[in-house]
């Protein structure tokens, strides 16, 4: 369905007002102290369309911590670097467990279910780190994001990375567990440090929507991701992008999406649009409460769905 730019702009402005009026923001992530400081009563949205236009509303120029949304871009880098090899170390199935769960890791002998839960993302980051320094691996992820967004003003917030390094005990446990099964090739502290910094990349929804154009394969997107890889990232986002809330997101929104505990969600309407929403308060699954609501409303308004 083609969506008129003026109508969409009007709709998004209305959505900003509607969300503010609801006043039901959810809880910010408090296990990372820097994220606990963020005011939950914020919402921003940006949509990059196939005709090259970009429409934004609300707090669209506010930088936020992309957290687990970075996992999509790290995976894109690893697929570009090592091709299919990564699948010997990590699966492609939804986990049905929380993003930081250790449960399945023991049952499945150290092979994480998918690259978007924390255990799987640690393996992907470990693969990106192979034979080089953390700063070089991080530079590759940043370079990919900057090229995708066509914007060099994308950086890591060191305060968020340090904050998580101080309190990320579950991730330390997951990394050690992976190491005990030989599914971490670097020292756990090196992989963890790289992972915490990758999660601490900060972006605006405008930058994130533009970066998502490569996954949506929009005509004006830089040619840095093959159509085949984009299709696969979309499949994983649809099945695993919201952890144990992935089925609910697919049901309500009908589009692939990836969330982060900073409150951002990247939603892809393949061939049509790349949508980024941000609201820092989370739902029970650790996904943005108002971000999910907004994605659902946008999908319904535009008629975009991968299910016809």
List of residues contacting ligand GLN (CB under 6 A): 67-68, 99-100, 118, 164, 171, 199, 260-261, 286
In the complex, the smallest distance separating the C-beta of residue 108 from ligand GLN, rounded to whole angstroms, is 19
Q: Which single residue brings its beta carbon nearest to ligand GLN?
A: 68
Torsion of CA 273, 245, 113, 254, to 10 degrees: -30
Answer yes or no: are the C-beta atoms of 68 and 55 closer than 8 Å: no
For residue 272, the cross-strand partners are none
* Count of beta carbons in the 10 Å neighbourhood of residue 172: 14
In the complex, the smallest distance separating the C-beta of residue 14 from ligand GLN, rounded to whole angstroms, is 29
Which alpha helices (H) appear in the chain, and where do they start and end? 5-22, 33-36, 70-82, 103-107, 118-128, 134-149, 158-167, 169-180, 188-199, 205-211, 213-216, 227-240, 246-253, 289-302
Between 245 and 270, CB nearer to ligand GLN: 245
In the complex, the smallest distance separating the C-beta of residue 118 from ligand GLN, rounded to whole angstroms, is 5
Q: In 33-75, which ranges are E strands?
A: 44-49, 54-58, 64-65
In the complex, the smallest distance separating the C-beta of residue 212 from ligand GLN, rounded to whole angstroms, is 16
Answer yes or no: are the C-beta atoms of 246 and 98 closer than 8 Å: no
3-state secondary structure of 44: strand
In the complex, the smallest distance separating the C-beta of residue 122 from ligand GLN, rounded to whole angstroms, is 9
Between 254 and 260, CB nearer to ligand GLN: 260
Instruction: Kindly state the tokens that stand for 281.
Output: 């308060």
The whole-angstrom separation of Cα 294 and Cα 267 is: 11
Q: Which residues are the active-site residues?
A: 68, 71, 195, 243, 261
């Amino acid at each position: 369905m083609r969506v008129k730019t003026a109508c969409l702009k009007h709709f998004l402005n209305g959505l900003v007002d509607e969300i503010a009026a609801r006043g039901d923001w959810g809880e910010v992530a408090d296990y990372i102290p820097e994220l606990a400081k963020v005011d939950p009563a914020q919402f921003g949205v940006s949509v990059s369309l196939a005709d090259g236009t970009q429409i934004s509303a609300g707090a669209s120029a506010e930088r936020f911590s992309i957290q687990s949304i970075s996992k999509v871009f790290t995976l894109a880098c690893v697929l570009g670097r090592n091709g299919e090899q990564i699948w010997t170390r990590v699966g492609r199935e939804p986990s049905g467990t929380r993003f930081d769960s250790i449960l399945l890791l023991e049952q499945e002998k150290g092979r994480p279910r998918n690259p978007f839960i924390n255990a799987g993302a640690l393996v992907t980051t470990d693969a990106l780190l192979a034979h080089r320094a953390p700063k070089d691996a991080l530079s590759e992820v940043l370079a990919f994001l900057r090229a995708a967004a066509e914007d060099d003003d994308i950086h890591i917030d060191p305060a968020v990375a340090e904050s998580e390094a101080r309190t990320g005990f579950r991730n330390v446990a997951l990394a050690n567990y992976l190491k005990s099964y030989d599914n971490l090739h670097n020292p756990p502290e090196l992989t963890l440090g790289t992972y915490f910094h990758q999660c601490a990349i900060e972006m605006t929804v405008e930058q994130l929507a533009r970066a998502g154009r490569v996954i949506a394969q929009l005509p004006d997107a830089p040619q840095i991701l093959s159509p085949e890889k984009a299709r696969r990232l979309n499949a994983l986002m649809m099945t695993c992008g919201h952890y144990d809330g992935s089925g609910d997101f697919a049901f309500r929104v009908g589009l692939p999406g990836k969330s982060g505990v900073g409150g951002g969600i990247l939603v892809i309407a393949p061939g049509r649009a790349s949508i980024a929403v941000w609201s820092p308060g989370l739902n029970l699954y650790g996904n943005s409460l108002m971000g999910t609501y907004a994605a659902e409303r946008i999908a319904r308004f535009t008629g975009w769905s991968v299910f016809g």
